[in-house]
Amino acid sequence: MAKVETEDLLKMVSSRYKLVVLASLRTLELSNGKEKLVEALATDRFADIAIKEILEGKISYRIKEKKDAKE
């Protein structure tokens, strides 16, 4: 995979921490057999594929709202 600049990834994800979590969770999904959302070479690592998916806007995240403990 070509060198990817962090700034390019941060255009897609608002913080470095969220980026790390998103990429690592997607890497785990790919390693467990989930379908790739981008074209990849047979030699691409799962982490490379996850980064490529983020760059192409194929995956994103959302923050779940906390439910009130009284409910």
Task: Quote the pLDDT of residue 1.
Answer: 60
Question: Which amino acid type is present at position 53?
Answer: E
pLDDT at 4: 76
Q: Please give the backbone phi and psi of residue 26, each rounded to the nearest 5 degrees, phi first.
A: -65, -35
Residue 49's nearest CA partner among 22, 16, 26 is 26
pLDDT at 22: 94
One digit per residue, pLDDT tens: the chain, 71 residues?
667 788 888 888 889 999 999 999 999 999 999 999 999 999 999 999 999 999 999 998 887 888 776 65
